[in-house]
Amino acid sequence: MLEIAIIEDEEKEAARLGGFLDRFSEENGVELRHSWWNSAAAFLGTYQCQYDLIFMDIRLPDMDGMRAAQKLRELDSAVVLIFVTSLAQYAVQGYSVDALDYILKPVNYSAFVMKMRRAAERCGRKREQWLLLNTNAGAVQLREYELCYVEIFDHHIRYHTQQANYDAYGTLKSVERSLPAQSFFRCNNQCIVNLRYVTKIEGSTVVVDGREFSVSRMRKKAFLEQLHRFTNLSWEEGR
């Protein structure tokens, strides 16, 4: 079941898009559920990473869609985002907030289907990538992209996500074995980082989700190679 949000201040346009989603669901056998928000501020105020796909109008009365998308990315770096707009020149700015695509108004169903198929495929890949963490509070299931990095101090492990932290007891080696090797890398003897959150590399320092970590001299070459492979793979999947 795909959970989809439509952020659109015009009821007629929201109903049109909702109708297209229902038709797409019936014709393609894709289970989905959609909800409509006419306010970006209200939507963001209750957002808890509950959606797989978001259609965001760019021209909104309370907060323009680009600003809303920036705030959305502070809450959720991986939800699939598609802009809906009558002005293509605004939509091309979507790369800055990692938007998958944009749809021009008035929305045409044939064009919508092409973009929706791509979005559904991307959502499907994200939904399949789950992690099961054994924490002090019990088992916690996360999507792979939700885990930003892992730290350890004297066998005390802390899993960091953008929404919460989870503590456990064990070894970094055992954590390393449990995480997908293509997207996580052990920088040193105290941390493992999710490569999708790497924003800057300077010398032997890497910035991950706003935190600085050192990459050990012995691991730096392998780190750069793995980051390069991961970046290329992510680009290929997103084309």
Beta strands in 101-210 (DSSP E): 101-104, 130-135, 138-143, 147-153, 156-161, 165-169, 184-186, 191-194, 198-202, 205-208
Q: Average pLDDT, whole number, for the chain?
A: 88
Domain 130-238: CATH superfamily, name plus number: LytTr DNA-binding domain (2.40.50.1020)
pLDDT in tens, 64-88: 888 999 999 888 877 899 999 887 6
Answer yes or no: pTM beyond 0.75.
no
Beta strand 165-169 with 156-161 is antiparallel
pLDDT (0 to 100) of residue 233: 53
pLDDT in tens, 189-203: 999 999 989 988 999
CA distances from 222 to 18, 26, 136, 169, 225 (A): 47, 47, 32, 27, 5
The neighbouring-strand residues paired with 2 are 32
- The DSSP string of 56-71 is EES--SSS-HHHHHHH
Q: Which residue has the tokens 């007629």?
A: 12
- The DSSP string of 32-47 is EEEEEES-HHHHHHT-
pLDDT (0 to 100) of residue 238: 43
Domain ranges of the chain: 2-128, 130-238
Q: How confident is the model at residue 90 (pLDDT cuts 50, 70, 90)?
A: low
pLDDT at 97 over 80: yes
The CATH class given to the 2-128 domain equals: alpha beta
Of all residues in the chain, the percent with pLDDT exceeding 90 is: 52
